[in-house]
Structures are given as C-alpha cells and as structure tokens.
Amino acid sequence: MADPSLNVLQRHVTFFDQNHDGIIYPAETFQGFRAIGSGILLSYIAAIFINVGLSGKTRPGKPFSKDFPIEIQNINFAKHTSDSGVFDKDGRFVESKFEEIFAKNAHTRPDALTSDELEGFLKSNRQPKDYGGWLAGYVEWKIMYMLGKDKDGFLHKDTVRAACDGSLFEKLARGKGSTKEENIQI
C-alpha cells in the first residue's frame, strides 16, 4: 500500500526506491526495471538515462553527485516540458488531462491506445524545438507501452492510470500482470 502522505508523482517513482530511504540510485533503478520484467540492456539504459537526467533536478542547491541520486521528495522538480500534463507542478494527478489523452487519441477503442495512436499523442504534445522534452516523453511512454500493452497491442486506460500512481510496477513485480510474459527483453 502506497504512503498516503506522498503525492501521486512521488508514488509513481517510489517502487524504484528499493531500500526505502527516499533516494533512488542508478542500481535501484536498474533493479526496479529488472523486477518489472525489463531485459538487462533496457534496465541498464533506463538507469543511466533516468538517474543522469533527473538527479540534479531533484537536488536543488546541492552539489553535483557522481552517484546520481534522485530525491523522491523533489521529484516534481524533474517534470519535463512537452509532457502530458497528467501531473501538475506539485506532482498531483490531473484527472482532466488524463481523460483528455484518451478522448483525443483513442480512436480504435475509447479506453485504450494503439502504438500508432500513442505516436500521434506524443507528436501532438511536442513544444517547438523542445528536443529534450520530446525525447523524455517518447522514452517514458514507449517503455510504458512495452511493459503495459496487452496481447493485442492496446495500452489500456487503467494500465496508464496504474503506471501514474506506481501500482502497475508493484503488479508487474508480483508477476500478476497479464503483460509480464510479453515484455520486450532488450
């Protein structure tokens, strides 16, 4: 059960805090990705990309650390541009933005996105010349798609909601997720 004192964005990342000290190190990110069924290469790349990209943003006023720690209490500072808007600046879940993703982009089924629909959504969210934001959004959503799609290639609304609050990661780690066996093992 998630800590109710945490905002939704903090709960989204808490699964990766393997030792529960409020800080996520690259080794913990790697272990978390392995626990949810990602292959060794994807887990390694994710650990580098995520921790290098977010560490400094979540540690305002602190010196650079070669350990690339991510401080969960400040994860809202790591929000990137060209994002979905599902999390506000304080890390709270914005229901209307979440619903808008599916209302505007789920054309095949109202409660799920295909790979092409996801691509369209990502392109529609791009801010001009925001290459870092484009990359961050693309990587986040593509990993979520790879881990959460069903056998027919649909990323369901309830799966995305579970990824937002972090409960999807717990489910995949317990092996109860129907998608665990289908994960891409790069």
Cβ 164 vs Cβ 93: under 8 Å: yes
What pLDDT, on the 0 to 100 scale, is given for residue 2?
63
Q: Answer whether 1-78 and 94-164 agree in fold.
A: yes
The CATH number of the domain covering residues in 1-78 = 1.10.238
pLDDT of 185 reads 39
Q: What is the pTM of this model?
A: 0.86
Q: What pLDDT was estimated at residue 150? A: 96
If one looks up domain 94-164 in CATH, what number appears? Answer: 1.10.238
Q: Are 65 and 59 in contact (CB under 8 A)?
A: yes
Q: How does pLDDT run along the chain (186 residues), one tens digit per residue?
A: 567 789 999 999 999 999 999 999 999 999 999 999 999 999 999 999 999 999 999 999 999 999 999 999 999 999 888 788 899 999 999 999 999 999 999 999 999 999 999 999 999 988 889 888 888 889 899 999 998 999 999 999 999 999 999 999 999 999 844 444 444 433
Angle at 161 between CA 132 and CA 140, to 5 degrees: 20
At residue 186, the pLDDT reads 39
* Residue 22 exposed, middle or buried by CB count within 10 Å (0-12, 13-18, 19+): middle
Mind giving me the DSSP string for 82-95? S--SSB-TTS-B-H
Per-residue confidence (pLDDT) for residue 82, from 0 to 100: 76
- Give the model's pLDDT for residue 178: 45
> Domain extents for the chain?
1-78, 94-164
- Sequence-distant (6+) residues with CB within 8 A of 49 are 139
Residue 96 C-beta-side C-alpha neighbours within 13 Å: 1
pLDDT for res 134: 87
Q: In this structure, are residues 12 and 78 in contact, taking their beta carbons and an 8 Å threshold?
A: no
